[in-house]
Amino acid sequence: MNIQQVHYILSVVDSKNFETAAARCYISQSTLSTMIGKYEEEIGIKIFNRKTKPVSVTKEGERIIERLRILRSELAQLEDLVQEIKGEMTGVVKIGVIPTVAPYLLPVFLQELANRYPKLQINVREKTTAEIVKSLKKRTLDIGILALPINDKDLIEKTVYVEPFLVYDCRNKPSNKPLAVHELDYQKLWLLQEGHCLRTQVNQICERSNEDKVDMLNFAFESGSMDSLIRFTKANKGMTILPFLASLDFNGEQACRIIQFKEPVPSRSVGLITHKYFVKNRLRKELVEIIENAIHPLLPLNAKMNVIQPLLDSY
């Protein structure tokens, strides 16, 4: 087996087509098919069922491919380590950011990161917490930015900032006074849909203040995006709970409808997460520094915080 065969096999898996995979690998289809066939003969196992359209992976091949993905990742990590030792930073870094952080955090730090590493290709995608954890463990993602803690033995966490939650109250007569969690109007409270860690955090805030209540929430609306949630909360005169950074672009009437929580203020811890074998330590350290420098001046000071965990038992 050689390294090129690993890339050829995984290219077919990802594209589900020999012709497309060959084009991606800049070789002819016959060469790619021959090289993969030689490896299948060498191990005595058929990885692909070539009779299906699109091409499918055999049951035995699935186990082989799982190990080949790890091998490819380890080879990439070796290359990263060499760059780290030589003080270089090239190639590609893949970053996943949860949707309730990405719109507010990325604009204030991403350009600085790109300027600091001009030879580094930075690929950023919005992903849910579950998707980030899964991708990091499969080694198809390098860095995750999300709510902490995750508490996974295979992953390394670094808290970057603690962000308070706020109430966005679009009912007829909002109050400017700080609000206790038990004073929320649960019949008017709208949340993000299932799968977002912010939703589980808000559920915890509500449950802690209403442990003796049954059917405390009436979900009149559930949204998959923060922007939609904010718009529909306003249009339907409801209320919702937002992370602090989401309120920074509010002005006029929107800003007047932001209410702080009474102390201890429900908050979330946001930070970086990488696989324990991630080797670009200088990049991770400087990314933390860049985000800290960008975000800390924007956050309120001297508030007593109550950090709400993102409930990740299912992962």
Domain covering 3-83: architecture:
Orthogonal Bundle (1.10)
Could you tell me if 171 and 239 are in contact, meaning their C-beta atoms sit under 8 angstroms apart?
A: yes
* Class in CATH terms, 89-161+269-307: alpha beta
What fold is seen in the domain 163-266?
D-Maltodextrin-Binding Protein; domain 2 (3.40.190)
Domains 3-83 and 163-266 share a fold: no
Q: What is the pLDDT along the chain (315 residues), one digit of tens a residue?
A: 788 888 889 989 888 889 998 998 889 999 999 999 999 999 999 999 888 888 899 988 898 988 888 887 777 777 767 766 766 677 789 999 998 899 999 999 999 999 988 888 999 999 999 999 999 988 889 999 999 999 999 999 999 999 999 999 888 776 778 888 888 877 778 777 655 677 677 677 766 555 444 344 444 444 457 888 888 888 878 888 899 999 998 888 888 899 999 888 989 999 999 998 887 888 899 999 999 999 999 998 767 888 887 865 444
List the domain boundaries for the chain: 3-83, 89-161+269-307, 163-266
**What is the SS3 string spanning the chain?**
CCHHHHHHHHHHHHHCCHHHHHHHHCCCHHHHHHHHHHHHHHHCCCCEECCCCCCEECHHHHHHHHHHHHHHHHHHHHHHHHHHHHCCCCEEEEEEECCCCHHHHHHHHHHHHHHHCCCEEEEEEECCHHHHHHHHHHCCCCEEEEEECCCCCCEEEEEEEEEEEEEEECCCCCCCCCECHHHCCHHHECEECCCCHHHHHHHHHHHHHCCCCCCCCCCCCEECCHHHHHHHHHHCCCEEEEEHHHHCCCCHHHHHCEEEECCCEEEEEEEEEEECCCCCHHHHHHHHHHHHHHHHHHCCCCCCEEECCCCCCCC
